[in-house]
Amino acid sequence: MKALTPAAGARVKRGVKAAIVANEGIDEAKKVVKRERSTVGRWLNRNDPDTPPLDAAIALDDVALRAGAGAPILQCYALELGGVVFFPPEAPIGEGEFFERLASFSAEVGDVFQTASASLADGKLTDDEIDENVKQLDDVMQVVAEMRAAFLAQRSAAPAKGGK
């Protein structure tokens, strides 16, 4: 695998920071990954090229995911590969929840427009503004993935064509 560009490395470092924050800081994260505090600290240091190896990244993201913070390291690497990560809903979505999901989708799209408008107001985009806009778009796509899963789940519950 080729080395990350400086910009890609900085994005991954932001994902690592988000994962460590979701793990309640360096001291808790070092316990999760069974590494020295100085090693975890290097992963946070933007001037150090070290990033967590796969086993540590998975462990940090697992805790972050359970804390409701997504899987920030995985999501950063997926973005570098041109992809996006979606998480299926934890429980099946019932028919009555479709309208809730549609309302959530509308709210998320509104957030995208609001964030993008604020970011573009001065004609310049900072890395933080780009990250925030991407996060807002990811939130929209997560709601879409949940709605998609809900509709597909109804397929097995729906009567066959012509059936009652």
| pLDDT tens digits for range 89-101 | 666 666 667 778 7
Q: Which of 71-75, 130-134, 142-146 has the lowest mean pLDDT?
A: 142-146
114-134 mean pLDDT: 91
Q: What is the pTM of this model?
A: 0.65
Residue 73 has pLDDT above 70, yes or no: yes
Contacts of 127 (CB under 8 A, 6+ apart): 10
Residue 59 has pLDDT above 60, yes or no: yes
Q: Is the dihedral of CA 63, 64, 70, 76 positive or negative?
A: negative
Predicted pLDDT at 95: 63
Alpha carbons 27 and 71: distance in angstroms, whole number: 19
Alpha carbons 134 and 112: distance in angstroms, whole number: 9
